[in-house]
Amino acid sequence: MGGSQADTLAQGMKMTTQSLSRYRFLQSGRGWLFPIALLLIWECMSRQSAEHAYAFASIPQIYHGLVEIISTGELQQGIVASLQRAFLGLLLGGFAGFIVGIIMTQWRVADVIIGPLYHMLRQVPLMGLVPLFSLWLGNGDPSKLVVVCLSAFYPLVLATYESLYQVEVKYKEVGDVYKLSRWQAFFKILLPAALPNIFTGVSFALAFAWLATIGSEILFSAGAGLGNIMMNAQAASRMDILIVLTVLIGFLGYGMNFIIQRTGRYFFRWRNLR
Amino acid sequence: MSIGIRVALGINQADPVFRRRNQLRLVAFLSPLAFILLWWWVSRMEIFPTQLLVSPDAVLLAFLELLDSGELWEHLSVSLSRLGTGFLIGASSGLLFGILMALSRTIEDLFAPLFQALRQVPSIALIPIFILLFGIEEVFKVAIVVKAAFFTVALASYESTKGIPRHYFEVAQAYQLPARKLYTSVVIPAILLPVLTGFRIAFARSWTILVAAELLAADSGLGHMMQMGREMFRIDVVMVGVVLTGLIGFGIDRIFKWGEARLIPWRKA
């Protein structure tokens, strides 16, 4: 339908408007006005009364909280545990999704069998499965890993399936001209043509896996991880630690997304899209 | 639609043979049916203890029991009203904010950096902070839904308004369209489709985050019902909750899809 070209064009345009406006924020300096005002209000609120200080941690307090969890080693341990979980889940779930996606496009029977089942099971929000997994697998690491794996599995099945289907007919015809066997055509033509789009799916799967990691750590009480530290801090009403961790989770998510975008651009530079 | 949006929504655009041909449509029900039969058979054989795996008819019985006692309606209506209130507030303010931020340079300069920074924090990571700020009552649950809906819709409307081709505005200027007319006949039609897609994504996120929030801290709602089932080892109640959350998510997504096709007759989603 020729939509893919228009799509990449649209994406490219989005990128330029985004990056342009990002640079303008830095130039104008007006962008700092509200964050600083917000911080000042926050700081004032924290100094109002003891009751306020419970909900609004002051900036020195946040700094001390940060120092505290670094010195106990809790933070480092949590970061390692969470990142490990996210990547392991992405690897296992993502790879399984990739394989299932390939199988579905290559065998019509598999498509008819797996497709409806996939769409049926995918409807349940991942966090809604938490009580079920906690009954089946307990509150520890296995349950969390299953949730993270699923979060990476779903998008990659879809991305692989869609990308393989969207490979243009003219590429397939080249394979026919060269009289490639089915598998030769798959590995030499279909898969390379679909890979850039599948990689977009991987970047989404990573974002979902990170969300699922934090979510499952918040909902399953046992074990190490940033989410678990957060829940402990919440139980102890430690707003300072919560703020440190929330900001950190945002940064880590942003950083991972940045890295994977860069990696994609490097790997698929032959595709000359952006 | 880009592949990313389709992945986020779980839309399969590639039409497999069985969906293209009408007489093969029924085939799509085969494997779910087989799945349920297999589930029924495995639970009948008692390979796993009944505390871990209940049969589909036990789940149905639990569903009828909950329905009869009126308990289910209560949980369902509480959850849906939280979802509705939060989504309405979040999505409408997000829509307005996104459009204003895209059209006015002053607002963009003032708010965009803060917006982009806050957007990086996943809603689920905000649950603990929201509990401390708002307590564990209704405000907390509605607030977390508002957050999830606001940022998704605001981003969609911001990006799509920014993406309106410049010459649309030039034409409007040439015809000296008044400001109100500019919005109603240029801006809104141009962004309708991407914004609706944003609504769909926002709704899916709001629903997930609400279920998570109810699992953590609530005295009513579907998530709370599942949490109670988990604590009392009533796996049938948990399964009722799982099936219902899936059905509700699916049903409302279908409504959005129907709306897409109705509101935008010139472009099929």
Distance of alpha carbon A54 from alpha carbon A42, whole angstroms: 12
Residue A166: predicted pLDDT: 82
CA distances from B93 to A139, B105, B151 (A): 38, 19, 10
Lowest mean pLDDT among A55-64, A149-158, A219-228, B152-161: A55-64
- Give the chain A residue nearest B133 (alpha carbons): A55
Write out chain A residues lying below 8 Å of B127, CB-based: 218
Which residue is it, tokens 């590639």? Answer: B14
pLDDT interval class at A18 (50, 70, 90): very low
CA torsion B38→B44→B48→B52, rounded to 10°?
90
pTM: 0.85
Q: Does the domain at residues A58-273 carry the CATH identifier 1.10.3720.10?
A: yes
Contacts of A54 (CB under 8 A, 6+ apart): A237, A239, B132
Instruction: List CB contacts (< 8 A) between A250 and chain B.
Output: 117, 120-122, 125
Which pLDDT score, from 0 to 100, does residue A178 have? Answer: 87
B12 vs A191, higher pLDDT: A191
Residue A122: closest CA among B113, B70, B10, B219? B10
- What is the rounded average pLDDT of the residues B101-123? 86
- Hey, is the C-beta of A120 within 8 angstroms of any chain B C-beta? yes
Q: What is the predicted pLDDT for the residue at A190? A: 87
Listed by number, the residues of chain A in 54-93 with a beta carbon closer than 8 Å to a beta carbon of chain B are 54-55
Distance from CA of B37 to the nearest CA of A (A): 13
Mean pLDDT of chain B: 85
> Which chain A residue has the Cα nearest residue B244?
A124
Handedness of CA A247, A249, A253, A259 (dihedral sign): positive
Q: What is the mean pLDDT of residues A142-156?
A: 93
* Residue with more model confidence, B134 or A32: B134
Choose the closest CB to B211 out of A38, A112, A128: A128
Helix B30-45 and helix B56-68, axial crossing angle in degrees, nearest 10:
90
Cα distances (angstroms) measured from residue A244 to each of A43, A248, A254, B60: 15, 6, 15, 45
Nearest beta carbon to residue B163 from set A14, A123, A165 = A14
**Nearest-CB residue to A124 (from B230, B235, B242):** B242
> What are the residues whose beta carbons fall under 8 Å from the beta carbon of A223, sequence distance 6 or more?
A81, A139, A140, A141, A144, A217
Cα B67 → chain centroid: 25
* Residue extents of the structural domains in chain A: 2-54, 58-273
Cβ of B4 within 8 Å of Cβ of A210? The answer is no
Question: For residue B18, what pLDDT is reported?
Answer: 47
Does pLDDT of A15 surpass 60?
A: no
* Confidence check: pLDDT of B92 > 80: yes
Which of B132, B193, B200, B226 to mutate against chain A (most A CBs within 10 Å)? B132
The answer to whether the Cβ–Cβ distance between B120 and A250 falls below 8 Å is yes
In B163-261, beta strands by DSSP E: none
- Alpha-carbon gap, residue B220 to B143, rounded angstroms: 16
Of B8, B122, B230, the CB nearest to A131: B230
**CA distances (Å), A161 to each of A102, A149, B11, B22, in order?**
6, 18, 11, 22
Q: Compute the average pLDDT of residues A183-195.
A: 87
Is residue A203 within 8 Å of residue A152, measured between CB atoms?
A: no
Q: Which residue has the higher pLDDT, A1 or A142?
A: A142
- pLDDT tens profile B177-204: 888 888 888 888 888 888 888 898 899 8
Q: Would you tell me which residues 11-40 of chain A have a C-beta closer than 8 angstroms to some C-beta of chain B?
A: 11, 13-14, 17-18, 21-22, 24-25, 28, 30-35, 38
Query: Predicted confidence band at A38 (pLDDT cuts at 50, 70, 90)?
Result: confident
If phi over 0 gives left and psi between -120 and 50 gives alpha, with beta otherwise, what is residue B49? beta
* pLDDT value of residue A274: 42
Overall fold of domain B54-263? MetI-like fold (1.10.3720)
Tell me whether residues A215 and B6 touch, CB distance under 8 A. no
Distance, C-alpha A30 to centroid of its chain: 31
